[in-house]
Structure 1
Amino acid sequence: MKKLIILVLSFFVFACSDNTKKEFSLTDHIPQDTEIFLVSQDIQGFVQELAANDFIKSNKFPLKERISSQLKFLEHLNLNHETGISFSNLASETFTFTITTKKDSALVQLDSVKNKAVETITEGNVDFQRIELNNSTFFLHESGNTAIISNSRQKILDIGNQTKLLKNESFEKAFNASDPNKSSVFIKHNAIEEISDFFNKFNFPNFENFAEWSVLDLDVSGSGFRANGLSLGSSSTKLLEVFSGTTPKNIESARICPEDFLSMYALSFSSFGKLHSNLQKIKTDTTQANYPKVLDHIREIASIQLKNGDMVVLNAVEIEAAKEQLAGIGDPIETYRGSSIVELNTDLGLRKVFSGLLNMKRNKFYTIIEHFILFSNDADVLKKALTDFQNSDVISERSYFNELIGSLSSESSMIFIAQLPEFIEETSENDKSQKLKLKKNSLAALQIISEGDFAHLHGIFSNSENSDVAANGAEQMASIKLDHPLVTNPVFFKNHRTDQMDIAVQDENNLLYLISNKGNIFWKKQMDSQITSPIYQVDLFKNGNQQLAFSTGYNMEVLDRDGNKVKGFPIKFNSALTQPLSVFDYDKNRNYRFVLTQNQRVYMVGPKGKAIRGFDFEKAGSDVIKAPKHIRLGSKDYILVAEESGKLNILSRQGNIRVPVTENIDFSENDWYGYNGKFVSTAPENELIEISQQGQVSTKNLELAENNRVVANDDHLVYLNENQLSIDGNIINLDYGLYTDPQLFEFRKRTLIALTDTQTHKVYVFDQKGKLLDGFPVYGNSPVDIANADLDSRLELVVKGEENEILLYKL
């Protein structure tokens, strides 16, 4: 595992680059003895992601100073093109690295280096340079459009003479299968002893022979890593073929795996007979061709490590038939919580059957939970498993585990899962200097799905500290800290490139940020002043690409998702805008109307930033006191403009009076909504105001307090009256507090109502019947936004945490 750390830390010291198109072949210059190879089109982005990763930031690795010193000179390189890094001799004190990239006159920057020396050397037909920068020495060879950098003179000569280069069919297949848009790492299985040792701690003894090369395409987030790739075998690596002719299955052992487990390694198969036949073909010892017949009824076997012992789990598809095969081979020694614990009087022979694929001790006891047969060398381990299962203290009941598993394929041939803090502490040597800082509930998983002579790989490392709530309850997914306090509420913004949601927010320095839902900052842009309106999501060009539209003190802005100004914007005003921007899309066809207000004047502009002709309402009789509002009732569109005088203008699309309202209205701070075919709002005290589509005004005395808050849509009316929340007439009594306006969110047939008590820092989310969702309240200090922000089926909620913090929750 230390060698994997080398890989990550190597990039931690880079300074770097923009994406370029692939213009040369990296595979022509890779040393033959490469053990790990990493390739990236965009090292700068990769390094930034690594630098923001909590695990990288918070840990001081034993080899960090040596690696940083050895690679310090890389800060003087401009790696502006696709770059590959080969690592060799990783077991030695000084490993060998070889960097391959496109030749560039600006590759090595010497101007800012005080202590430097460059020597040109010719050996045979190879010309190269020996470069000293401060205390670092490396060699540079340029040939054609390729530049080679290494700390090994011999590597430069070998590459220059085109000798001792990696020519391997499995590697080439892996390279061709990697994603060119991601940073990818290639691992030679039989070269890295410590990786093999790491998997051996899972009781998997044959990692080095599982495949010849594996490739993983990497995604780095603020709290973890994800990887997807392939393993490819050769004639000398037969282990991949063990699952040939069998079908991967859903891994179910998590249902009886205690929540405080260390690791779980599970195998699944559609036919044990076929698996056994494949195992016999790769074993040198074929003395035991038979196997216990209970395995004919098994479709999964798992090895689970606990702090106080291990257990092996057989998942039976026919538990009664499996029980019959176990009958007579042991004696019950006690009944614990309704289940018999049986002491075996003969060895089942599971160790020999699975040798080469799964290490296990001889098991003395077994018990049965539903259709699972649990074996252990310690009866107390089985008692704990029974207790935890009955108390639902199993890993499948933990939301952070289900989130991790939800990121993987539903079916596996092999899967490795570790609860990292405990697993590493229990399986590592007692070297305190090497202890890693990992958050509670940090998990790692590697899933293998066999396809004959190759296998799909899916890996994830999650270092986020999530709460232990039920799988369907609210849990914190991310905490994103900015350098300065927030002045707007964080909102979701559609990422049309990933089909997920990013987060937009502004800080007190008027910097607007766009941040991924994993916490990576895409960009920040200086605005002229604070954003005064909601941040609207628009598609001005009707091509699926999303833009951000909003108003500031004097401007209306539209930015694309890269933070660039869209042509025609901003629209600048000499005097301040007095109401927030409104955006109308009457027919949901993306023919947007942007509505801006200055005192009595109302401006309407189109997608190109030009005034809309045919909108005749330009000036009210007195100052406009709310942002103009579009309401659709049935098939009719209305524009509502409220004036300081008490006049409510209900207009047509053309700006003409569509509904004459003769009465003056005592406006409250609440907005107007369309509900039940009418326009509704509240008076400052006591009354709900309703206006029909014919202009008739009526009121209902709801005994509202002065600070009442209302929100509505076509089907639901919600209001907050002091500590009482009314949802369609259903009253929920809340604790007294300082609440934000209630918010309504619609998701297909699901309606959610959210509000935040900023006094106690609690966010509440109710369903339309007034039931508080599981896991709420959660911590927060602002109105929220709710959306399906990632690729799973659960919703996410974003809210302000501390003054400079964004919190992301999963519902």
Structure 2
Amino acid sequence: MKKLMILTWIFILSACSNQVKEDFSLTEHIPENAEIILISPDLKSFVTSLNDNGFLNNSDFHFKNNLKKELGFLPYLNLRNETAIAFSNLKDESFSYSLITKRDSALIPLDSIPNKSIENLKEGSLEYKKINLEDFHFYLKETGNMVLITNSKNKLHIKDNSSKSLHSERFKEVYKAADPNKNSVFINHKFGILNSVIGETGSRSIQKITDWSVVELDVDPSEIKANGISLFDNLIDLPGVLRRSKPGVAETTRVCPSEFISLYAFSFDQPGEPVVPQNGQEADSTKIYTPDLLEHIQEIARVNLPEGSSLVLNAIEIETAKEQLAGTGEQVEEFRGKPVLRLIKKPDIQLALSNMVEIPALNYYTILDHFIIFAPEIEILQKHISSFLNSNSISEQAYFKDMMNSISSESSMLLITRNSAFTERLTAGQTSSSFQLNRNSLTMLQFIMEKDFAHIHAYFSNSEDNSQNSSGPEQFSSVKLDAPLATRPYFFKNHKTDQFDIAVQDEQNRLHLFSNKGNLFWRKELDSKITSDIYQVDLFKNGNQQLAFSTGYNLEVLDRNGNRVKPFPISFNQPLTQPVSVFDYDNNRNYRFVLTQNNRLYMVGPKGKGIKGFQFEKAGSQIAMPPKHIRLGTKDYILVPEKSGRLNILSRQGEIRVPISESIQFSDNQWYGYRDKFVSTAPQGNLLEISQQGQISKKNLDLAENNRLVAGNDLLVYLNENQLSINEKTAELDFGLYTNPQLFEIQGRSLIAITDLQTHKVYLFNSDAELLEGFPVYGNSQVDIANADLDRRLELIVQGEENEIIMYKL
């Protein structure tokens, strides 16, 4: 199988040949069982270009070693004329070859080869030589103006026995069509050499559509391109859709996950073309049968994923196609807002498609945009859905777009393989192959059908791996809980590994800690829902991390094993009316836990005792939001807003540090430190700024009442209806139901995240209000971002389904 694949890459992706010259004919000596024929005007240069290709030069596999073993003597030869090499018996462990070129007295420079032997032999009228050059052995026969070199003595008799030479009229046609100045590879499809490889994709049509092909090659260090034609002998064997329709645009790549193995697609310009004979009629009969569902289909594809295979139908009238599917399935789940149905009455499309693709079991289906996707397992459909919603389909990848720029936009048939996964599948259980494939290496083969022939375009790319500079986010894991999430997921540092784990609570009040690979460490029952963020603290200043948070009545601190840290919890008889705030004024781990009950504040230290000397214990009215610590320059401030409109700006000791005489109407936004001032918004559309001397200024930004704001030292972000402003640069969003924007300062850059809960989309912007490539992705909560596994890429976690955590690499 490996040798078949390599021939596909080296010789299918090859190029056109030389025409017959009056004084010398290569084709008279090509054996009838030739499977692949290479004809080159300059074979030495051709071999050099192949050796310069990084993939071919660096990879090591069994068939390549056999080629070196059999043809490693070529560098010793002076091949100064056009040369043909015909390969036979390629499916056998030991293949045979016939090298044919023009007779040349200087072909083998014996004087320059130290270890050599030549034995002249004669069998009847056949005279030939048996030659040993270094460790290479072959036979040589000279006849008239021709020399034949082969590793099979039987091939020496071809000129004397014309019945054993190649006499295909189709071969003669493609031979005449070849360019005499190009390297040419001719493929005899009768032997199924290409079909053996492409059959791994689920195709059943390659051998039916063509007899002989010839392709012209362009080899670069990181890629191979080929263009050519295929000729047909028996058009009745072609699938009807290919005989009666023009090529169409292949769109299935929009719903093909980027982690695919292979995709095999038929496209056509008119719906209703896939037809099959009815009641045994011939394929060209007018009595044909088209299943109702296929009357609305313009593309049929099989997608092979690591999870399994799927069948994709691209509908030109999706609503009509839905009507045809009505009553055939029952919904078993809704995955990320998309229904997944189990088929109770399978559509009668297998017979119509059986001569085109191998049909996977049709057990479940879903619909994405105008694509109907069938699969044997639900997990396969989930992969399609998540990739489509996350813009992680192959069509969204920059390296794929580069490849598609090299071929026609319309196809009759299109095959694409992700080479690293495809070679793993081909060589499963074998240990003798080592393919130096980059992560984004692709192979593409395209057929564009005409009346009695097809254009071929082929492309192999193994360009430098750019995975560290990913073109977008990539979902790499997800975790399902037994109950819906009650909080968003939080990253929590694992002091044993320096990586980050994931903490989340479900609606049964159980707190979970997972590894960043999704493995559960523990779950712990709590008295009620967590009401605050989950903070990371180091109470003992020894590097060991704890989780701190508030519930309805408690301040909890747990170690990383889920055990309570004494003297916590601190419990109250009356409920806490605001989430706990955690202050670390000087980043020296002298933590202050600030708890609120109506108009009272309690400040607790790391040992669970009240902080003496904190003067502010009681506000004049109910406290409106959690107390906030802000540092401006070298000064610390504690902000305590009251529902009466009073804003208390305190010192560490709880004394009024900045007197505010004016009553303020607060929005739901917290206060932040921004450019040496305190900022928030008012419900009436104003941006509020308070100086460190207590002066209030209002800037009318025409903000809607439900505006959202977050700020950093030099970054001001606010959402006004569907406009996200980042330092006065605006990004236009769709109208939706958005979470509060989040600001992350990480790895020397600022990232702004916001989630539309209505459309389940997570957006991530940089500080220039530019949406990061690959966003939005699927999500249903605020997010957390960290370098969770210590590679060079960040990780983002977010709620997916109601009981799911999704992990993305950025």
TM-score range normalised by the length of the shorter chain:
0.5 to 0.7
Shift in Å, 1:292: 2.9
Aligned match of 2:327 = 328
Change (3 A) 1:342 1:4: closer
Task: For 1:36 and 1:196, locate their aligned partners in 2 and report how far apart those are by CA, in whole Å.
Answer: 13
- Is 1:97 the counterpart of 2:88? The answer is no
Aligned match of 1:363 = 362
Shift in Å, 1:242: 5.0
Change (3 A) 1:28 1:230: same
Residue aligned with 1:51, SS: helix
Aligned match of 1:42 = 42
Aligned match of 2:308 = 309
Shift in Å, 1:411: 0.4
Shift in Å, 1:6: 6.6
Aligned match of 2:155 = 155
Change (3 A) 1:95 1:29: same
1:152-179 Cα shifts (integer Å, max 9, x gaps): 2221122245441101011111212223
1:502-531 Cα shifts (integer Å, max 9, x gaps): xxxxxxxxxxxxxxxxxxxxxxxxxxxxxx
Residue aligned with 1:24, SS: coil
Residue aligned with 1:441, SS: coil
Residue aligned with 1:432, SS: coil
Aligned match of 1:445 = 444
Task: For 1:318 and 1:40, locate their aligned partners in 2 and report how far apart those are by CA, in whole Å.
Answer: 49
Is this contact kept in 2: 1:238–1:282, CA < 8 A?
Answer: no
Is this contact kept in 2: 1:441–1:466, CA < 8 A?
Answer: yes
Shift in Å, 1:58: 1.5
> CA RMSD, aligned part only?
3.5
Change (3 A) 1:105 1:257: same
Q: Percent identity?
A: 39
Residue aligned with 1:173, SS: helix
Aligned match of 1:421 = 420
Change (3 A) 1:145 1:245: same
Shift in Å, 1:66: 3.6
- Is 1:408 the counterpart of 2:407? The answer is yes
Aligned match of 2:70 = 70
Task: For 2:5 and 2:113, locate their aligned partners in 1 and report how far apart those are by CA, in whole Å.
Answer: 29
Task: For 1:471 and 1:23, locate their aligned partners in 2 and report how far apart those are by CA, in whole Å.
Answer: 57
1:228-263 Cα shifts (integer Å, max 9, x gaps): 112222238822765112011010111111111111
Shift in Å, 1:453: 2.5
| TM-score calculated relative to the size of structure 1 | 0.54
Change (3 A) 1:439 1:20: farther
Aligned match of 2:347 = 348
Q: How does 1:198-213 map to 2 (within 5 A)?
A: 198-213=197-212
Shift in Å, 1:96: 1.3
| TM-score calculated relative to the size of structure 2 | 0.54
Aligned match of 1:61 = 61
Aligned match of 2:183 = 183
Task: For 1:49 and 1:459, locate their aligned partners in 2 and report how far apart those are by CA, in whole Å.
Answer: 17
- Say which is worse superposed, 319-328 or 381-390, in terms of deviation: 381-390
1:722-750 Cα shifts (integer Å, max 9, x gaps): xxxxxxxxxxx9xxxxxxxxxxxxxxxxx
Aligned match of 1:528 = none
1:250-281 Cα shifts (integer Å, max 9, x gaps): 10111111111111111112335443158999
Q: Which amino acid aligns with 2:341?
A: V
Task: For 1:113 and 1:438, locate their aligned partners in 2 and report how far apart those are by CA, in whole Å.
Answer: 36
- Is 1:3 the counterpart of 2:3? The answer is yes
Task: For 2:436 and 2:423, locate their aligned partners in 1 and report how far apart those are by CA, in whole Å.
Answer: 10
Change (3 A) 1:344 1:65: closer
Q: Which amino acid aligns with 1:155?
A: K
Task: For 2:214 and 2:122, locate their aligned partners in 1 and report how far apart those are by CA, in whole Å.
Answer: 36
Is this contact kept in 1: 2:262–2:417, CA < 8 A?
Answer: yes
Is this contact kept in 1: 2:316–2:370, CA < 8 A?
Answer: yes
- Give 5+ residue unaligned stretches, structure 2: 12-17, 473-726, 728-747, 749-767, 774-810
1:595-647 Cα shifts (integer Å, max 9, x gaps): xxxxxxxxxxxxxxxxxxxxxxxxxxxxxxxxxxxxxxxxxxxxxxxxxxxxx
Task: For 1:240 and 1:102, locate their aligned partners in 2 and report how far apart those are by CA, in whole Å.
Answer: 43
Aligned match of 2:739 = none
Aligned match of 1:142 = 142
Shift in Å, 1:472: 9.8
Residue aligned with 2:244, SS: coil
Aligned match of 2:51 = 51
Q: Which amino acid aligns with 1:355?
A: S
Residue aligned with 2:171, SS: helix
Aligned match of 2:131 = 131
Change (3 A) 1:163 1:172: same
Change (3 A) 1:369 1:101: same
- Is 1:87 the counterpart of 2:87? The answer is yes
- Say which is worse superposed, 459-468 or 231-240, in terms of deviation: 231-240
1:101-130 Cα shifts (integer Å, max 9, x gaps): 111111111112233332334444443333
Shift in Å, 1:21: 8.6
Task: For 2:396 and 2:468, locate their aligned partners in 1 and report how far apart those are by CA, in whole Å.
Answer: 8
1:659-700 Cα shifts (integer Å, max 9, x gaps): xxxxxxxxxxxxxxxxxxxxxxxxxxxxxxxxxxxxxxxxxx
1:287-339 Cα shifts (integer Å, max 9, x gaps): x9644312111100111111112221111111111111111222222333332
Higher Cα Rg: structure 1 or 2? 2
Aligned match of 1:219 = 218
Aligned match of 2:393 = 394
Is this contact kept in 2: 1:20–1:82, CA < 8 A?
Answer: no
Shift in Å, 1:368: 1.4
Task: For 1:63 and 1:393, locate their aligned partners in 2 and report how far apart those are by CA, in whole Å.
Answer: 35
- Give 5+ residue unaligned stretches, structure 1: 12-17, 474-732, 734-759, 761-770, 777-811
Task: For 2:22 and 2:277, locate their aligned partners in 1 and report how far apart those are by CA, in whole Å.
Answer: 42
Is this contact kept in 1: 2:261–2:418, CA < 8 A?
Answer: yes
Is this contact kept in 1: 2:4–2:196, CA < 8 A?
Answer: no
Is this contact kept in 1: 2:274–2:290, CA < 8 A?
Answer: no
Q: Which has the higher contact order (CA 8 A, sep 6+)?
A: 2
Residue aligned with 1:271, SS: coil
Aligned match of 2:586 = none
Residue aligned with 2:111, SS: coil
Is this contact kept in 2: 1:418–1:443, CA < 8 A?
Answer: yes
Aligned match of 1:537 = none
